Amino acid sequence: MSSLRVVGETREPAAARRLITIAGLEKTYRTRDGDVPSLKPIDLDIHEGEFVAVVGPSGCGKSTLLKLMAGLIEPTAGEIRIDGTLVKDPPDDVGIVFQSPVLLAWRTVLRNVMMPVEVRKLDRASHLERARKLIATAGLEGFENKFPWQLSGGMQQRTAICRALVHDPKIVLMDEPFGALDALTRERMNLELQRIHQETGKTILLITHSIPEAVFLADRVVVMSERPGTIAATYNVELPRPRRLDVMGDPLFSALTQTIRGHFYARGQID
């Protein structure tokens, strides 16, 4: 064991330091109707500050992968480590944005955003200021005291994103966060997410059903196969940053989206 620990403590150059290591990860859901194998062995390293996007067919295990990384469910085999530490319970250094905003209906925007601070018993005063800044950045100023039902779907999702960032986590996991948004809001959110990534150096994993969104935002796109999902391919996106929306007209951008789309043509829809 001690020799393993020494290996784990070896520091690589800052730019290439592995923050998340996923090794031999498998998940089979045990149900009354039998076993549902959902992930075949997954091996994936994510570097500090890296932006990874995951695309794959509907039901291939993307949300399962994210829940495992978030420590919300347990793997059947294999392991996930963050900074060398085995993920068992939800780690403090992780923020999560779920597929639907899951805001608490009886809490205001501000009190929804402050949830992770309360759950983790962090200093309220300093985080309150941070929450207000995030809310303003997300274009929700003036809505701090509104309830979820008083917001549009886009505003609810922006609230959920503020909530994922309020405790300043090093890692942000996002499960199709923009799926329900209209095209313009979605583009705005993409630009905003890129800005946050660039300015804060956070490590981000984004599940998306939009191949252009994946290529636009990510340093690396991971393509998953059908269930039980495993990694079919990964593509580095060598487009310079900051990327503007017109990068989508770049030949490199088109070539990459076409190549990734090619994984799905034969098999039908992606999710």
Question: Which positions touch Mg ion (CB under 5 A)?
Answer: 62-63
DSSP result, 134-186:
HHHHTT-TT-TT--GGGS-HHHHHHHHHHHHHTT--SEEEEESTTTTS-HHHH
Give the whole-angstrom CA distance, residue 191 versus residue 139.
13
Q: How far is the CB of 112 from ligand ADP (least distance, A)?
A: 24
Residue ranges in 16-55 that form contacts with ligand ADP under rule CB under 6 A: 29, 31, 36, 38
Q: How far is the CB of 59 from Mg ion (least distance, A)?
A: 8
* Binding pattern for the stretch 213-242 against ligand ADP, x by CB under 6 A and - elsewhere: --------------x---------------
Return the H-helix or E-strand segment holding 237.
none
Out of 21, 28, 63, 198, the only residue in the binding site for ligand ADP (CB under 6 A) is 63
145 binds, among Mg ion, ligand ADP, none (CB under 5 to 8 A by kind): none
Out of 49, 61, 101, 116, the only residue in the binding site for ligand ADP (CB under 6 A) is 61
Beta-strand runs (E) in the chain = 18-31, 34-47, 51-55, 77-82, 85-86, 94-97, 171-175, 203-207, 220-224, 231-236
Q: How far is the CB of 170 from Mg ion (least distance, A)?
A: 23
DSSP one-letter code for 229: B
Chain residues that interact with ligand ADP, rule: CB under 6 A: 29, 31, 36, 38, 56, 58-64, 227, 271
